[in-house]
Chains A and B, each alone.
Chain A
Amino acid sequence: MWGFLGRRLALAALTIVAMSIVIFVLLRIAPGNIVDLLFQSAGLVDISEKQRLAHELLLDRPVAVQYLTWATAFVHGDLGKSFRYGLPAWQIIRPRIPITVELAILALAVSVAVGLPTGVVSATHQNTWLDYGLRIFSLAGLSMPAFWLGMVIIILLVRTFGWIPSMLYIAPWVDLRAHLLQFLFPALSAGYRSAALINRITRSSMLEVLREDYVRTGRAKGLAGRSVVYRHALKNALLPVVTVIGTEFAFLIGGLIVTETVFNLPGVARYLVEAILWRDYPVVQNLVMFIAIVVVLTNLTVDVLYARLDPRVRYA
């Protein structure tokens, strides 16, 4: 176990370093002089400012020095400075983190709460109308753009209930009910896709396990059908589902970017899009790095969890 954990940790660290290089290089191949772009977006006019900006960005130093300076600062928690706001990026990002984390957790909760039971029912009722209905429901989830679903939800809410979701963020300590209502619909529209995927994996995994000998044994010795399905089969069918929940988390972040935009939630993901549109490159670079680390750590957790859940799993 410890050897595996050590290797896995080393791989995660290596991945993060490699990702930082990829991100750094990608944003350096941007066409046009980055100073000119920042110069415009920061609304500066004085030419001497240009040289100061280039110097501040270390653009007059070798690329390796630029990279190492950035990496060192990042490790020390210095996320650089937003050129748009003229503020340290961390000051802008920090208040946004809880919003994105809450949305991500709620969306994941929705997707597991919907995807897992429907997947089990779909498998135990294979090739019945219930199964067909649930499969169409899940395929639809994989086919609808999350942002469009959000827009349709808003239209329906306004048309049928005359209720306009607040366009301003409501903190939970101000009005808990309004806060939860504000997060419910974004979580639903962002979580539907993941729910659909979890449903599919649960279904196929359950179908496989339900044909195993020990399930037949359970039935033969007279265990209640419910007990066989939930205590014996589901436990064994859960492994691939755990993996999918892990990899789906990466997709969920993508879904959050559009969902936060549609529902006007001031989260980290929406800030990334804003930074890209404003060409606030220092912020883009750090924010993407931040997301990369979150994703790598999630994958690491899933892998470790996987090894804990299934003693047979040992990665050589």
Chain B
Amino acid sequence: MKTSVVRFLRRQPLGSAGGVVMALVMLAAFAATAVSTDDPTRTNAAQTFQPPGRRHWLGTDHLGRDIYSRLVHGARVSLAVGLTTSALGGLLGGAVGIASGYERGVATAVIQPILDIMQGFPLLVLALVLTAALGPSLLTVIVAIAVPFVPRVARVVRATTLAIRESTYVEAAQALGASGLRVAVRHIVPNTLAPLIVLTTAQLGSAILVEAALSFLGLGVPEPYPSWGRMLSVSAAEFAQRAPWVVIFPGVAISVVVFASNLLGDSLRDFLDPRLRI
């Protein structure tokens, strides 16, 4: 484990840089109250639309709230949504993929068509329908982003499982009398980890983007939580000309984090499984 981390750092400098950025943002989100300079929700009528300066590093918005502090706290929402949805989607998709790849038959006949159908759906449209059905809340946003991710993971994991199933070491284990569950846990799961890690990292970025888009449309995580997408919502667009910093910084924050996670994901793919095409 330790040596492979060192090897990754040496061979994939760009991916490591992405990882470092992600770690820093996570740290900032974790210690948001300590690193922010202001209460992110405190409005100040006398300090609206302050340009970036010494008092407010990244300026203030239309209610006089400090943008830097809101960004730091908003990182919590973006990362929480990104991390939980990728973990949830990865776990569920992995389980479904292994089950339908290993136990062909009923699982394949029932699960596969459903996955195919879900796969064909635009991510944002599916998320929109789910938020329309469940009403906007943090939980809805997480479900709406994680659910469409399941078939994407399941498809790749299933393909890997199908290949491993036919390998000689699985045959050997079965010949020695290992149960189906034991083969799945001991032999198949470890071998699907590489594509799973790569997919989950790649998902992190798109989850953050979809959350931002949902919040932008007014269907994301609701008010008391400052979220990056909400900071860019339609009302911010009205002030874009007067105070461009209101619009620019949250977008830069989203782009930097997603860029870093994409860099990390790409490098992990090259490092763990170069033949994987995602």
Chain A contact residues, CB within 8 Å of chain B: 14-15, 18-19, 22-23, 26-27, 29-32, 139-140, 142-149, 151-152, 154-155, 158-159, 204, 240, 250-251, 253-255, 257-258, 261-262, 272-273, 276-277, 279, 281, 284, 288, 291-292, 295-296, 299
Contact = CB atoms under 8 A, between A and B. Distances in A.
A147 B135 CA distance: 23
Interface stretch (B54-62, B88-96, B116-124, B169-177): B116-124
A281 B129 CA distance: 10
B237 interface: yes
Contacts of B64: none
B124 A254 contact: yes
Interface in B178-223: 205, 209, 212-213, 216-219
A140 B123 contact: no
A299 to B, nearest CB: 6
| Overall SS of chain A's interface | helix
B205 A273 contact: no
22 contacts: A15-B116, A15-B117, A19-B121, A27-B129, A29-B133, A30-B133, A31-B135, A139-B259, A143-B259, A145-B216, A145-B254, A148-B254, A151-B232, A250-B123, A253-B122, A254-B122, A257-B128, A273-B217, A277-B219, A279-B132, A292-B121, A295-B122
Contacts of B205: 142-143
B240 interface: yes
Nearest to A279: B132
Contacts of B120: 15, 19, 250, 292, 295-296, 299
A152 B252 CA distance: 11
Chain B contact residues, majority secondary structure = helix
Contact of B128 (A29, A139, A146, A276): A276
A32 B116 CA distance: 31
B134 interface: yes
B219 A272 contact: no
B247 interface: yes
A299 B116 CA distance: 11
Contacts of B134: 29-31
Given A261-B234, A292-B121, A296-B120, A147 B216 contact: yes
B164 interface: no
A258 B218 CA distance: 11
B2 interface: no
A26 B133 contact: yes
A246 to B, nearest CB: 10
